[in-house]
Amino acid sequence: MLVHGSGSSSFMWAPIQRELALLGHRSFAVDLPGHGLDAQYPVAYQAPQDLDAWATEPSSLAGVTLQDNVDMVVDVVRRVAAHGPVVLVGASLGGATITGVGNTIPELVDRLVYISAWSCVERANPIEYMPEPEFGANLLAPLAVLNVGDPAQLGVGRANYRTADPTLLAGLKAALMADVTDEQFRAFLNILQPDESIAVMMSDARVHADTWGTIARSYIRLTGDRSLPVAMQDRLIAEADALTPDNPYDVHTLDTTHVGFLFRAAEVAAILDKLSI
């Protein structure tokens, strides 16, 4: 089972699902609440854009919580577990959701896999980790000008992924996927949705040693990541291993970026293939 991150959907997993299918694996990519074909794309977000109108457009994701995401994935895990072992994979912010699932139904999850994803231990959520020195190499902070509207009023972070500003596009590419072509970058950008719930990013997403900590787990480090820097990935791994030293992460490394791993689908699938044995 594959769980996407912020502003994304099940669509992002298509390259990896193709490779998994070629290796003989069944896979299921979820759309978290309000994502995928349920995502909100207001007329004001289209071209030509009306940024003033869009800045106050109510969001369908306002009020969606991390627990909503966890509950939805728990329901799917209960259904697919009837057909065989479950390897639950999360990327980026999707790590918070799979952590919550592991905390809730550890008996139904055979392995957790984090792909440069948040697995919070000492801090409650990604927002609390961001001031830490290990996060210093991230390149997202200067891209705050992509944001539209007031998150406090909207209840969501709203990013204008349809900007035509060449400087912003170059900065976003550097932060997310510097190792792919401009054409591939724009193709990915066009499957993103602009809103993501603030509540999801600020909820308590800490792992529980007595439940989550009993599940076999793996971490795929992405050394070129400038959104969730590898120093922070390593800190998350170390914190979790210190919490449950008898059940440490099985660690793998790819020399790619936060989203670039999707363009290395065969390599990612090969790792997942070995983990599923």
Q: What is the pLDDT along the chain (277 residues), one digit of tens a residue?
A: 999 999 999 999 999 999 999 999 999 999 999 999 999 999 999 999 999 999 999 999 999 999 999 999 999 999 999 999 999 999 999 999 999 999 999 999 999 999 999 999 999 999 999 999 999 999 988 888 899 999 999 999 999 999 999 999 999 999 999 999 999 999 999 999 999 999 999 999 999 999 999 999 999 999 999 999 999 999 999 999 999 999 999 999 999 999 999 999 999 999 999 996 5
Task: Retrieve residue 63's tokens.
Answer: 């009020």
The two most distant CA atoms of the chain are separated, in Å, by 56
Task: Retrieve residue 122's tokens.
Answer: 């000492």
Sequential DSSP letters for 183-213:
HHHHHHHTT--SEEEHHHHHS--B--TTTGG
Q: Which residue has the tokens 């992924």?
A: 161
Residue-range domains of the chain with CATH: 2-275 (3.40.50.1820)
Q: Rounded to two decimals, what is the model's pTM?
A: 0.97
CB neighbours (10 Å) of residue 94?
Answer: 26
